[in-house]
Structure 1
């Protein structure tokens, strides 16, 4: 998997390392197309990865530090860049929240990110949801709703609690249309944060 730091249209290079990592993952998964399974990534300090895992860094296309990106060898993690490393495929047979409950990260991992596709309804449609539906019936009702929107969510958290998210609508599938913010998908961010709890 090659996830070079692609120039992201409309994205200020001065944005923080976590925002850059989220947008890099969003761009990578956008290149795979829609209707993809959920993907999990470890986020590791790029400079430390080069030092401790030079072969893996080479495979990921990480050359020498890029001074233009503000990355200094041995710099603190707040100024460093983060490299997303895709993990094994998430088993489709296990609910996502159960799967996340089984994860424990080694100390070398600074954060993690998840990208997942979902159907969403506008708030105006939520009031018309029939009561008493089980999960399968609710999913079917949403999937058939004329106002449904397909969205890809990329959510990342760091061990220290920092969070970032990116949302991309299928109908506005362009890098310049990606919405970012730390509180866009709080439930998923909580579940990812829990993977770092002892």
Structure 2
């Protein structure tokens, strides 16, 4: 397991957020949502360390305190400060990256193939997408091949990395980084910036 506070894709957006609007959310930041937001942003930073043009990456989210109780060896794998914090904060989350993902033709197909045991408290997905301003999307051809060519050649296209996390309790969080503004302090966040992807990740927990 790897802790998201310590953690040493390429698809097209159907509803990509506007990075300029991807700032602080007005939704109440409950303790559970705050812990999820921290975990999602740490996961995104971890993935960002590998650079752009990476694959879809999937993470299980588990309550660190409970994991420490059920897996005695975990305490030796985590830094002491993380263990101490998890003892104090029941909402603290640990992320576990999933290896050997099932073969899938699309992100939607991959998510439809995922399921989690009850010991998993949530899930997070990181994916890269290409977004266009609304006026450019309106002119996109219907033919898939022509649409892809249009998308990749458009001067106003933006590469975006999306990290979306959902907990079984219903809390959600999204982190958004643009390639054109690639800095940790420029990553936006909010609970519902990418509703379609939020719902798809939530469905893996049903």
Scaled to the shorter chain, the TM-score interval is 0.7 to 0.9
Q: State which of 111, 129, 133 in structure 1 corresponds to 2:143.
A: 133
Normalising by structure 1, report the TM-score.
0.82
- Alignment partner of 1:16: what SS? helix
Matching of residue 53 in structure 1 with residue 62 in structure 2: no
Report if aligned partners of 2:68, 2:75 keep a CA contact under 8 Å in 1: yes
What's the counterpart of residue 31 of structure 1?
49
Structure 1 residues 35 and 98: CA distance shift in structure 2, 3 A: same
| Offset of residue 31 of structure 1 | 0.6
Structure 1 residues 152 and 65: CA distance shift in structure 2, 3 A: closer
| Offset of residue 92 of structure 1 | 5.9
What's the counterpart of residue 111 of structure 1?
122
Range 169-178 or range 138-147, more displaced: 138-147
Structure 1 residues 124 and 142: CA distance shift in structure 2, 3 A: same
**Unpaired segments of 5 or more residues in structure 2?**
7-23, 25-30
| Offset of residue 54 of structure 1 | 3.0
Normalising by structure 2, report the TM-score.
0.79
| Offset of residue 63 of structure 1 | 3.1
What's the counterpart of residue 11 of structure 2?
none
- Alignment partner of 1:107: what SS? coil
- Aligned pair count reads 183
**What's the Cα RMSD here?**
2.5
| Offset of residue 36 of structure 1 | 0.5
Q: Give me the whole-angstrom Cα distance separating, in 1, the residues matched to 2:4 and 2:36.
A: 15
Report if aligned partners of 1:112, 1:158 keep a CA contact under 8 Å in 2: yes
Structure 1 residues 57 and 95: CA distance shift in structure 2, 3 A: farther
Higher helix share: 2
